Amino acid sequence: MKSLVIVESPTKARTLAPILGPDYIVKASMGHVRDLPDDALGVDIEDNFKPAYMVLRQKSKTLKALRESLRESQTLFLATDPDREGEAIAWHLLQVLKPRNKPVQRVAFHQITIGAIHDAFAHPQNGLDMNLVDAQQARRILDRLVGYQVSPLLWRTTKGKSAGRVQSVALRLVVDREREIKAFVPRQYWSIHADLALPDDHAQHFLARLIQVGSHKVGLNQPIHLDTQADADKVKAILDGAVYHVKSVDQSIQQRKPWPPFTTSTLQQAASARLRMSPADTMKTAQELYEGINIGTDKAEGLITYMRTDATAIAPEAQAAARDMISRTLGSKYLPASPPTYKTKVKNAQEAHEAIRPTDVFRYPNTIKPYLSERQFKLYDLIWRRFVASQMAPAVYDVTTADVVALAEAGGELDLPGLPAADVSAPMPFIFRATGRMLQFDGFLRVWQESDDGNEDEDTAQKLPELSPGQLLHLLALIARQHFTQPPQRYTEAGLIKALEDRGIGRPSTYAAIMSTLHSRDYVVSQKRLLRPTTLGEYTCDSLVAAFPDLMDYGFTAQVEEWLDDVSRGDTPWVKTLHDFYTPFAAALSQAEAKMRSVPRPQPADETGQHDDIDSATAAGNDEPGSVKRTSGKSRVRRGAKAQRRKEPVVLPDVHCPLCSAPMVQRSGPRGTFLGCSRYPKCRGTRKVDEQAKPSS
């Protein structure tokens, strides 16, 4: 007789069937077959939180087919995904199918390749890991207790659509960030730069930045701070005619180590930044690559390892293959002396997986490109390059740092903010610093190009001439540059996932669904890939914080994740975890509605001019996600509306319009912050924020 193998998806089944051969029947469960009921709490709180699982109605035909296949089989192999969710699905299948008098084997694999599949079936696990099952049950019941008991309170008070144990905390992150941005007051500051050269070679000039006056540091939040153009002009006046010479030169070698291979979160972040793919699209495409694609052979094989992981570990055989490939194609100089190891920085990392990597490093992206969709190719190429780069030698830079002294008589004219009165009239050395960094060896950068994030400024990305202490330098120009402190940026979806992960909140398998829920509930909108809370989202968040301070606390939510980890390791019974959570939660629940109603109702129009008022959000019901009806019955307002409520602009009296010399104001536009004329629309003069202010003529 044949053996029955049950996996979760049809694609995975189609990939496994030819690998296992004719002695196996491979079927898909299509995900979970049982869950808590939709129309009731489904948890008996008084009976130690006993769940009332029900067979999903839409899975009746699937289960009928599985039972028929099981009757014709001699052994049942449960080959669901190798994590808590997969272990729970396998357990639910056992509870429903009840395979009496037939051996049951649990097989797990992290990549769908011929070798990995045959090895997994040759060495099945010793039964199900009930600790993982209990951890998944505890998470599901916790989420049901919160969602089923808090959401009705929202319907009655704020008209919010749902609450979730992790979803609501994710919303709070977005709301808190938005309020940081609204409360932010830009601060102007100036920097002084000297354009210097050797006396006999003005062509090879370089920039040095003023870092110190006497023994006092210069800069933002330093003892001496140049807040206005008048402050900068004072320094320039003092340095007019000063003599410049090299004080010291320091040369060093700087290594830039490669990034570790991808985890779920870092893959989503990189795909968002480089490929403009949402977390949901990233996970969907990664699933396709994992489950198997026919690349011109007679069998489909998985191209990457399991894509839900928070680990950065790599199997020794995969490292050996990568080193072999790198040595053959690039040469031994690109190999580190020993295979690198990476420690995960994720708080409470818990899945014992590998990082995400190609299943065969010799399967070059361009070779299999004809068999992949554009999105599949781009994501595979990203994963392949990141993995290969992680096994390569560091990049090496030559770094030169030169300090330059300009000696000038300060007299009584050097009246700078932060400069002690005793130093005003003393001869004051002005110390400038020039830094140059040149790539000596590209190392991993040969494969993985760093993204241009704007962190390397003009003063660093320069080559310094040969300098030695005591050398005289010629001053070609003194440059004053204007800067403004910037508010924190709104989260992207990938950035929000990273913020959750850094706090130990949620797990790789849940992040993409959380992002989708925030959008579908009309709690956030996305503008140029940046998340902004709606009025409904802010009102819902404030109400939940007022009624459930623990539930909405970042630290407490992370602690709950630690409790679930304890369950998965067998350290804590899952029922105890539920009791520890529910006792204070139930106490808060009894007073929650009154506290929610005490939260002030927000204005109907939010800061983008979208009238996503509370009543109209509820009236939208199950309409297309992202659409909100107006109570007046007028046309819907779509997400991403560009109209913005006008704020009082920050006037900068020391910065003048290049067209009419009127004061400039700081404004925000589609391309970020800029300076515009205060006489707009009569005058349309603009400047870049970091552009050197020029005196008006």
Threshold 0.85, pTM exceeds: no
**97 and 162 share one domain:** no
- The answer on 498 and 630 residing in a single domain is yes
CATH number at residue 158: 1.10.460.10
Query: Closest Cα to residue 404, out of 239, 603, 597, 232?
Result: 239
Q: Is residue 135 part of a domain?
A: no
> Poorest-confidence range of 235-239, 480-484, 601-605?
601-605
* Least-confidence region, from 140-149, 252-261, 419-428, 541-550: 419-428
Among the candidates 390, 415, 434, a domain finishes at 390
In-domain check, residue 378? yes
More confident call, 403 vs 456: 403
Q: Which residues are annotated as catalytic?
A: 306
Q: For residues 76 and 123, state if they share a domain.
A: yes
Which contiguous run of DSSP H or E holds residue 380?
Answer: helix 374-390
CA 190 – CA 10 distance, rounded (Å): 62
Written as six digits, the tokens of 357 are 């990597």
- Distance (Å, whole) CA 537 – CA 518: 9
Q: Do 513 and 464 share a structural domain?
A: no
Are residues 370 and 408 located together in one domain of the fold? no
Domain ends where: 463, 484, 505?
Answer: 484
Q: Answer yes or no: is 259 within a domain.
A: no
Integer Cα distance of 239 and 409 in angstroms: 9
Is the CB of residue 102 less than 8 Å from the CB of residue 76? Answer: yes
Indicate the DSSP class of residue 355: P
Q: Do 98 and 56 lie in a common domain?
A: yes
* Range 654-687 burial, b when 16+ CB lie within 10 A, else e: bbbbbeeebebbbbeeeeeebbbbbeeeebebbb
The verdict on residue 204 lying in a domain is yes
The Cα 285–Cα 317 span in angstroms is: 26
Residue 446 lies in a domain: yes
164 and 295 share one domain: no
Closest C-alpha among 678, 545, 647, 691 to residue 184: 647
Residue-averaged pLDDT of the chain? 86
Residues 98-110: pLDDT tens digits? 998 899 999 999 9
Contact predicate 390/340, CB 8 Å: yes
- Residues contacting residue 558 through CB under 8 Å, at least 6 positions apart: 347, 348, 503, 504, 505
DSSP secondary structure string, 272-284? HHHH---HHHHHH
Residue 17 belongs to a domain:
yes
Q: Say whether both 170 and 115 belong to one domain.
A: no
The answer for residues whose C-beta is within 8 angstroms of residue 568's C-beta and 6 or more apart is: 84, 131, 132, 134, 135, 350
Structure tokens at 258: 């490669």
Q: Compute the distance between CA of residue 231 and CA of residue 481 in angstroms, rounded to an integer.
A: 12
Average pLDDT over residues 514-542: 94
Question: For residues 469 and 247, is the Cβ–Cβ distance under 8 A?
Answer: yes
pLDDT (tens digit, 9 = 90+) per residue, 485-514?
A: 999 999 999 999 999 999 999 888 888 889
Identify whether residues 368 and 421 lie together within a single domain. Answer: no
The residues, ordered by sequence, that sit 6+ positions from 507 with a Cβ below 8 Å of its Cβ are 84, 310, 350, 351, 561
pLDDT of residue 686: 80
Under DSSP, is residue 70 helix (H, G, I), strand (E, B) or coil?
A: helix
Range of the domain at 115: 2-128
Taking the CA atoms of 656, 662, 665 and 667 in sequence, report the sign of the dihedral they define.
negative
Domain boundary among 436, 466, 484: 484
- What average pLDDT does the segment 286-300 reach? 91
Q: Are 518 and 548 part of one and the same domain?
A: yes
Q: What is the mean pLDDT of residues 370-391?
A: 97
41-68 mean pLDDT: 95
Asked whether residue 697 is domain-assigned, the answer is no
CATH of the domain at 407: 2.70.20.10
CATH code where residue 302 lies = 1.10.290.10
Q: What is the DSSP letter of 192?
A: E
Are 161 and 102 members of one domain? Answer: no
Rounded to 5 degrees, what angle do the CA atoms 520, 521, 524 make? 85
Query: Does one domain contain both 626 and 506?
Result: yes
Count of C-beta atoms within a 10 Å radius of residue 313: 17
List pLDDT tens digits, range 393-442: 999 999 999 999 998 765 445 677 777 765 555 667 899 999 999 999 99
pLDDT at site 345: 65
**447 lies in some domain:** yes
Structure tokens at 99: 């395979």
**Is the distance from CB of 620 to CB of 627 less than 8 angstroms?**
yes
Residues forming a β-bridge with 548: none
Angle between helices 130-157 and 535-547 (to 10 degrees): 110
Round to whole Å and give the CA distance between 682 and 172. Answer: 41
Pairing of strands 54-55, 34-35: antiparallel
Quick check: 406 and 242 in contact, CB under 8 A? yes
CA angle 171, 176, 179 (to 5 degrees): 130
pLDDT at residue 641, rounded to an integer: 36
Tell me the two tokens of residue 302. 């998985």
DSSP alpha helix (H) spans, 158-293: 167-183, 229-239, 264-275, 279-291
Query: Number of folded domains in the chain?
Result: 5
pLDDT of 181 > 70? The answer is yes
